[in-house]
Structure 1
Amino acid sequence: MKLQLPFIAFWLLSASASYAQTEALPPIEKPTAPASEELPLSNRPLNNAIPATEDPMAAAEDTVHALTTLYSRRRVGGISWIAGSTLGGVRVLTAASQKKTVSGSYGTAVVDEGASAGGIAAGLGVMLLFDAYGASKLARFSAAKQAALIADVRAGKPLPANVRHRLKPRFFKQVVVPYKAVKYKPV
């Protein structure tokens, strides 16, 4: 079992890295009109989070960035639930299968009490429950659903209520790092 644990940890890390990867979205060409004037901020929800601009494409890109942040955080959360519960379950199984050493005044004895079937069943049940919760997060916030929602936002459709209430002001405040192509010459 000691040899299998590093392989299990490696498998979990490689699986979580593949789930966390998302496809890069193509950039939207923005109109050349300057958006230097701001609209008045009255009658707008989340005034401090959503930038006031006349350019609807900039607002759509801001929403796209917030959606990308939301979906990627939820997917990482699902991976964390799965990885944590799996490692906890492995620990429960290894603890249940170990022999107990008792030291006394007459010497040392190794006692094999056997694993408690109820303890193992309870540990595996909790592990499977947490794994199911993590898998449900991965399914609800999949990259395919994210891409479909972003396409709807770019088409001008409103956000569904269940997504709109999950968007927090901090998702809009995060700095967008623009992609810069790096020129290189093969050796």
Structure 2
Amino acid sequence: MLKHSVFLAFCLLLSVSAFSQAPDSVKTTVSAPAAKPGTVAKRTFKQEMLARYGQKDTAVAIINLFAKRQGGGAAWLVTSGIATVRGYAASRGANQRSINGVVVDESDANPAPVFIIGGLAAGYGVSKLVRFSNGRLEETLTSYAAGKPLPTWVRRRLKPKFFQAPRRYNERK
């Protein structure tokens, strides 16, 4: 039973990345620039958004904000998964009673607190991935381009550092 729980938790961690992807109804088709024959022009979603809305510094800042928060959500998710597996492994055979160096009685510690804390941390990571998904990014940018004001939850998170050039190479124009 325990092996099944660990296997299901592992599968859940692998499938969580689907939460951060936009649904098919939100995706729009964007024509990619003409590539040289024999090469494949592959651009990430953020590069597409930068190409479409890159003229405005606020739009670039919004893209940088979402990229940073998505990275943070993924980091929380991976770290919580690793810590949970490590904590569970440490709880196995944790209680030993020995007499003169000879193990007389060995029992496992209760792994429930490890799974509860790991689940809470993973839930926080998933919530960040859902809140700052690519679908919400596109929705926010299209409403901003249409002249609507930025939502309060985005406006209060925008800091001066997001108006600077992105730190990652693949997110540059």
Band of TM-score, shorter chain: 0.5 to 0.7
* Candidates 130, 144, 147, aligned match of 2:135: 144
Pick the structure with more helix per residue: 2
Post-superposition CA distance 1:109-143 (Å, at most 9, x none): 356621122xx111111111111111111111111
Partner of 2:108: 115
Match for residue 3 of structure 2? none
Kindly indicate whether residue 165 of structure 2 is the aligned counterpart of residue 174 of structure 1: yes
Contact 2:20 2:133 in 1 (8 A): no
Is the partner of 2:136 in helix, strand or coil? helix
- Provide the rounded CA distance (Å) in 1 between the counterparts of 2:136 and 2:125: 17
TM-score for both structures, normalised by structure 1: 0.59
Identity %: 34
Which secondary structure state, in structure 1, belongs to the residue aligned with residue 119 of structure 2?
helix
1:83 and 2:78 matched:
yes
Contact 1:99/1:111 (CA < 8 Å) preserved in 2?
Answer: no
User: Contact 1:100–1:110 (CA<8 Å) still a contact in 2?
Assistant: no
Would the aligned equivalents of 1:99 and 1:110 in 2 still touch at CA under 8 Å? no
Change in Cα spacing, 1:26 to 1:123, as seen in structure 2 (3 Å) is closer
Question: Given residue 102 of structure 2, which amino acid in structure 1 is its aligned partner?
Answer: A
Contact 1:67 1:167 in 2 (8 A): yes
Give me the whole-angstrom Cα distance separating, in 2, the residues matched to 1:109 and 1:101: 10
Is the Cα contact below 8 Å between 2:93 and 2:109 reproduced in 1? no
Match of 1:27 in 2: 51
Which structure has more relative contact order (CA 8 Å, sep 6+)? It is: 2
Count of residue pairs the alignment pairs up: 138
- Larger Rg, first or second structure (1 or 2): 1
| Match of residue 62 from structure 2 | 67
Query: Given the alignment, which residue of 121, 125, 128 partners 2:119?
Result: 128
1:116–1:109 Cα change, 3 Å: same
| Structure 1, gaps ≥5 residues long | 1-7, 30-56, 179-187
| Alignment partners' CA distance in 2, 1:85 and 1:111 | 34
Shift of 1:150: 0.8
**Amino acid across the alignment from 2:112:** A
Long gaps (5+) in structure 2: 1-8, 22-42
Amino acid corresponding to residue 136 of structure 2 in structure 1: K
> Which residue does 2:156 correspond to in 1?
165
